[in-house]
Amino acid sequence: MGRAWLSLWFAVFAVIEGIPAQQTVPPVGGPYNRLVIRGAMMIDGTGAPPSGPVDIVIERNVITQVIPVDPVSLARRGPGFQRPTGDRVIEGENLYVMPGIVDLHTHISDRVPSEYIFKLWLGHGVTSVRVFSIGSKSPDEMVAEKRRLAAPQAIAPRLYVYPFWRGDDPRLSDPERARALVREWKTKGIDGIKISGKPGLYPDVLKAICDEARRQGMGVAVHIGQDGVVPMHALEVARAGATTIEHHYGYAEAAFSDQTVQDLPAHYNYLDEPARFRYTAKVWLETDLEKLMTQVIPELLKSAQETGFVMVPTFAVYEANRDLMRVQTLSWHERFTLPTLMDYWRPNPRHHGAYHYAWASGDEAIWDRMYRRWLEFVNAYKNRGGRVAVGSDAGSAYHLYGFGTIRELEMLERAGFHPLEVIRAATLEGARALGEARLGVIRPGYLADVLVLEENPLADFKVLYGTGVTRFTTDGRAFQKHGLKYTIRDGVVFDARALLRDVEEMVRQAKVRKP
Ligand SMILES: [Zn+2]
């Protein structure tokens, strides 16, 4: 076969095997003057059951109508009723829609191209992220990045920037001057503040930051370091006015009965990461469970009523600790994880979060027992009226962007959340934590962040993974089922599968360069 024939053959092959079906519409389109999703089943994000079919009208970046078109509603509307139309119509028969996912705990690493991270996020339905760091960018540079990505055609979720409260500016540790700094950050366009480490060293400063942030309509996310839970545990941080508490630190310490500090051995050293992560799980086995459930939860709820406090457990980021082999061999690494990340995650004393070089079955057992208590605690908190939201903290310990967010949905379901509660945590609760009154619900007047799904996510969250989920025919043949078809952010329609094909291509090329 001559060279010309060969290339012709490849061209034909590409048409057959490639992307003709998706190629009929561009991978990114809009925003449209009128975009209509017709006849889909709606999960609105509030926890209400699915309802449909509905026609959803989106004008530019706002949902303007949600019209039930079931037989009873149509009969009521009478024979003159015309189904809405627009300059783009997505036929939604047999499809589901839900609000875009809000991921409240993210870092944009500069170890990989940000395009890779953004496409993984959008490819998994993540339309808004609260971001604590963008490589080593300054707060000003983070705002600039957010503005750059706010352009309609930018292939990225909406960013809410919460830079770390750190550095050597003396204003960071003085209450009155801290207030001034919060106001200054507000004028720069910063959305909130991330506090990590030892908020208890400066309890008066924490209070001032939280109070001023609230006045300015900003949020405060607190990660209490395991070296900071004494003197300030989670109850005190919530009382001080934190918008969210990240991870699991500080709750167990709030429920001690026979001690005020954790029972740590004399040789413990916080900066020794294997020890840190071993003992941070152990503290959950020292806590007084009765007190945790009957005293800590009501106290947290009291703070929540006053401040709107939201819990962001980030369950999934710690899974390496209870089953390292599982996270190392996740089925998506091969196609979707860049080799740079796999290298960085490999056990290494010089990399944060890569402390598994000294990890044994006993450590995993402690984490497994800790998880049982922690999952139970978060579920009980939700059941008594507490608000819990989704944060992935992806990017470390084999926890990949996008996939990690969906895994967090699964973890909430394992904690005991009904799938509708899981979706509410991933949408409405996230939006509330961001202080966005018009986000996280499919309702007229709300921002047009909508996911169009080919599968019902309530039946199986795994269909949201970029790899899809393997199903079987009755005669035992395997096939892949993909859930997410379109991710709509601000009225812009992204072909989710096309974005993920780009990611796969990036990974393929990176492996050619570095086998
Ligand atoms: Zn983090």
Rounded-to-integer distance, Cα 458 and Cα 466, Å = 17
DSSP-based three-state secondary structure for 37: strand
pLDDT of 25 reads 60
Distance 41 CA to ligand 1 centre (A): 35
Q: Ligand 1 mean position to 393 CA, how many Å?
A: 5
Task: Between 203 and 33, name the one with better pLDDT.
Answer: 33
- Cα 106 to ligand 1 centroid, rounded to whole Å: 6
- What pLDDT is recorded for position 2? 41
508 Cα to the center of ligand 1, angstroms: 28
408 CA → ligand 1 middle, Å: 14
Residue 6 pLDDT? 40
pLDDT at 14 over 80: no
Query: In the prediction, which pLDDT does 13 show?
Result: 38
Angle at 256 between CA 252 and CA 258, to 5 degrees: 150
The residue type found at 265 is P
pLDDT tens digits, residue range 443-462? 999 999 999 999 999 999 99
**Fold topology of 114-120+137-421:** TIM Barrel (3.20.20)
Alpha-carbon distance of 19 to 23, in angstroms, equals 6
Q: Where are the domains of the chain?
A: 114-120+137-421
Helix axes 203-215, 175-188, angle to 10 degrees: 30
Q: Ligand 1 mean position to 105 CA, how many Å?
A: 6
In single-letter form, the type of residue at position 172 comes to L
Q: What is the pLDDT of residues 254-306, one digit of tens each?
A: 999 999 999 999 999 999 999 999 999 999 999 999 999 999 999 999 999 99
Cα(43) to centroid of ligand 1, in Å? 29
User: Which pLDDT band holds residue 16 (cuts at 50, 70, 90)?
Assistant: very low
Percentage of residues in the chain having pLDDT higher than 90: 87
- The answer to whether 101 touches 434, Cβ cutoff 8 Å, is no
| Cα 229 from chain centroid (whole Å) | 25
Ligand 1 midpoint to CA 476 (Å): 42
E-strand ranges in 302-363 read: 310-312
Distance 227 CA to ligand 1 centre (A): 16
Q: Which helix (H) or strand (E) holds 452?
A: strand 450-453
Nearest Cα neighbor of 410 from 370, 467, 331, 465 is 465
- Of 271, 273, 370, whose CA–CA distance to 322 is shortest? 370
**Mean pLDDT, the chain, integer:** 92
**Closest by Cα among 471, 310, 474, 502 to 387:** 310
pLDDT at 12 over 90: no
Instruction: Please report the pLDDT score of residue 232 as a whole number.
Output: 84
Among the residues of 43-174, which ranges form H helices?
Answer: 71-77, 114-123, 139-149
* Residue 382 alpha carbon to ligand 1 centre in Å: 22
pLDDT in tens, 30-81: 999 999 999 999 999 999 999 999 999 999 999 999 999 999 999 999 999 9
> Are 499 and 465 contacting, i.e. CB atoms less than 8 angstroms apart?
no
Structure token pair of residue 417: 């959340």
How many angstroms does the Cα of residue 314 sit away from the middle of ligand 1? 9
Distance 187 CA to ligand 1 centre (A): 25
pLDDT over threshold 50, residue 474: yes
> What confidence category does residue 8 fall into, taking pLDDT thresholds of 50, 70 and 90?
very low
Rounded distance from Cα 182 to ligand 1 centre (Å): 21
What six digits make up the tokens of 292? 């945790």
- Of 219 and 199, the structure prediction assigns the larger pLDDT to 219
Give which of 276, 278, 209 is closest to 237, Cα–Cα: 209
**C-alpha to C-alpha distance for 269 and 435, rounded to whole angstroms:** 38
CA of 378 to the centre of ligand 1 (A): 19
361 neighbors 323 (Cβ within 8 angstroms): no
Kindly compute the dihedral angle of the four CA atoms of residues 108, 112, 113, 115, in this order, to the nearest 10 degrees.
-60
> Residue 170's pLDDT is what?
79
Q: Which of 19-28, 198-207, 375-384 has the lowest mean pLDDT?
A: 19-28
Rounded to an integer, what distance in angstroms lies between the CA atom of residue 106 and that of residue 12? 42
Q: How many CB atoms lie within 10 A of CB 202?
A: 19
As a whole number of angstroms, the distance between CA 200 and CA 4 comes to 72
Q: Which of 460, 456, 464, 473 is CA-nearest to residue 497?
A: 464
Q: How high is the pLDDT of residue 444? A: 98
CA of 198 to the centre of ligand 1 (A): 15
363 CA from centroid of ligand 1 (Å): 22
Q: Is the peptide bond before 53 cis (omega within 30 degrees of 0)?
A: yes
- Other CB atoms within 10 Å distance of the CB of residue 235: 20
pLDDT tens digit string along 366-410?
A: 999 999 999 999 999 999 999 999 999 999 999 999 999 999 999
Residue 110 has pLDDT above 70, yes or no: yes
Q: Measured in angstroms, how far is the CA atom of residue 107 from the centroid of ligand 1?
A: 6
Give the pLDDT confidence of 146-198 residue by residue, as tens digits.
999 999 889 999 999 999 998 777 788 889 999 999 999 999 999 999 998 87
Radius of gyration of the CA atoms of the chain, in A? 24
